[in-house]
Amino acid sequence: MTKILCAIRGGEASQRIQDVAIHRAKERGEEIVFLYVVNTEFLDTASAALRESVTNEMEKLGDFLLLMAQERAKKAGVVAEPLLRHGYLQTEFEVAASNPEISTVLLGTPGEGGNFSMETLKIVAKKIEEKSQVEVLIV
């Protein structure tokens, strides 16, 4: 069975992309892999204790968001699995998308004040598409 890889983060935009993934999975008879990436490179200059503490909190947040997304899919009758990764967002998307079961990657539009502009996200999407040979949609 093929799967949709859906990148999630917190907030309303994340719920919107989850809804798109769930709807698409139901239409196509696919499963979903919800991906949350813990990226702590902004803490490179922080103390080891602070890095560890913040990383642990980000992991807990990621686990919670993944569980909530999985529950939403389950209520809609769609099988979903959580995937929490550590590292640089683009790299982790590429690695996850290289799974032969993945048919489509869904990325959410950038939020205001976020790390990515729409232009940057389009470049990232194109690179993921080229490396993984799967369709990448920004929704």
Cβ atoms of 78 and 116 closer than 8 Å: no
pLDDT tens digits, 85-96? 999 988 999 999
% residues pLDDT > 90 (the chain): 67
Assigned domain for 34 exists: yes
Tell me what pLDDT residue 115 has.
67
Q: pLDDT by residue (tens digit) across 24-80? A: 999 999 999 999 999 887 777 888 888 889 889 999 999 999 999 999 999 999 999
Q: Is the pLDDT of residue 5 over 90?
A: yes
Asked if residues 41 and 89 have their Cβ atoms less than 8 Å apart, the reply is no
pTM of the predicted protein model: 0.91
In which element (H, E) is residue 3 found? strand 3-7
User: Is 74 inside a domain boundary?
Assistant: yes
In which band, very low, low, confident or very high, does the pLDDT at 129 lie, cut at 50, 70 and 90? Answer: very high
**Number of Cβ within a 10 Å radius of residue 77:** 9
Both tokens assigned to 122: 């389009």
Residue 103 lies in a domain: yes
Between residues 114 and 118, which one has the greater pLDDT? 118
Collapsing DSSP to helix, strand or coil, 40 comes out as: coil
State residue 113's pLDDT score.
64
pLDDT of residue 114 exceeding 70, the answer is no
**Alpha carbon of 95 to those of 42, 92, 115, 127: distances in Å?**
21, 5, 20, 12
Tell whether 11 is covered by a domain: yes
Label the pairing between strands 31-38 and 3-7.
parallel
The answer to whether residue 112 scores a pLDDT higher than 80 is no
DSSP letters spanning 101-116: TEEEEEEPPPPTT-S-
The CATH code of the domain that includes 79 is: 3.40.50.620
Q: What is the span of the domain harbouring residue 17?
A: 3-111
Domain count, the chain: 1
pLDDT at 22: 98
